[in-house]
Structure 1
Amino acid sequence: MFMSVLSFEQVSISQDGVNTLEDINLTINEGDFYYLIGKTGSGKSTFFRSIIAEIGLESGTASVAGYSLNTIKRSEVPFLRRKLGFVFQDFQLLTDRNVEKNLSFVLEATGHTNKDEIRFKIEEVLARVGMSSAISKRIHRLSGGEQQRICIARAILNNPVLLLADEPTGHLDPEVSLEIMQLFKELNQSGMAIIMASHDYNTMAKVPGQILKCEGGKIFPVASL
């Protein structure tokens, strides 16, 4: 039986005093794979920011990775975020460091201190994304597709129960985009839930998933693109 990793019930979210999203009813379980589509400004980023407790709820009830978003304390937010992974369109890697230093930075920032354990975790995630040979390479020497694989490795370092991806193929050519999407599907098949904001409909058609649409202040499932 799959466990729920996200539950929103009649949730409304405001940003800068403006009601952005309302009446969200959504459950994401382990192993679910959802695309989140919608025009720029429709509220997709607001939804993601609410999941990581960056924006509070206006009304309704919500829980993510075992934490109530209604009652979560500021001191608990880092622990919630350790259960989540986030992949950005623009990579946000530290270009002055090599791959290992980029990944060790994340582990050290989330409380890991054992050097052997850190090295093992880094080698493990690089193997999962097909980048074992890049551990000592500088970021600027990697292609766009390789950098995105490192971003995915970074996102799964703490074995998240939910992975959020914001336009992860937005800057990649179609062939590389498909490779990256296949990697996400492999992670999903291991039980990791994924919500991916995307406009890359061609790649989405080749790597099917369930679809949520953000439109008119609502988020709702749709049968097809």
Structure 2
Amino acid sequence: MNRFPNRAGDHADTDEILRAELKAAGIQTLQEHEGKGPEYMADFLRRTSGEVKTTVMGVLHGWQFKRAWYYWMAEGPGIEWAAAEALHAKHGNAVRVNGHCGCPSPTEQYKGLAVGSYHVDTPDGLKALAETIKALVARTQPLDGEETMGITSSFFVLPADQTCIHPEHAPASGFYIPPGKSYRHVCPGCKTVREFIPLSYSLTHSSPACGLVTTPASASQAEKGG
């Protein structure tokens, strides 16, 4: 496992190293998020930083990322059970639910409730956590304010466990149907959007380049998702 380096103590290069770790994961520092320079809240952050003396803290959609000696501590609004289990399946030994050294699953720790606390030991794990948070937020964001049947449609980063066939694009695609929303299929490769009304499964992809044709099984999954 390629762990983060131990940064406990007070070192001149810590801020630079931590900024680079966050940037590699796609996470902004507090200063970047606020559009400020590195000096913004620097004294306060340093005084409250704990075992790693630093002015750097990461922020992402309500989550905070603070550096401990060899890992990042992440706390936020919570990652829903299904997404947390998918993250755990790939990165559970490095993205530790509730900071638990035994690496239990989200189900074991939170009994189906959302996970709002992680300790992250590796760069790959931190990036995976950030991407999970971004995906959960992105799937509920309106696409240019469009509406279908009077209901705002949304653009989703689609769950990998729901399947369609993409000959040209490696990422798996599928359906996510939130309560009260119209259905929207998004190709993660070319970002082509195919919208369709509830209970209609005419889902041939609108882009010939993708050659996407959904299966009856996919339609069944879509129905269950609603």
TM-score over 0.5 for the alignment?
no
Identify which of structures 1 and 2 has the higher relative contact order when contacts are C-alpha pairs closer than 8 Å and 6+ apart. 1
- TM normalised by structure 2 equals 0.25
- More strand per residue: 1 or 2? 1
- TM normalised by structure 1 equals 0.25
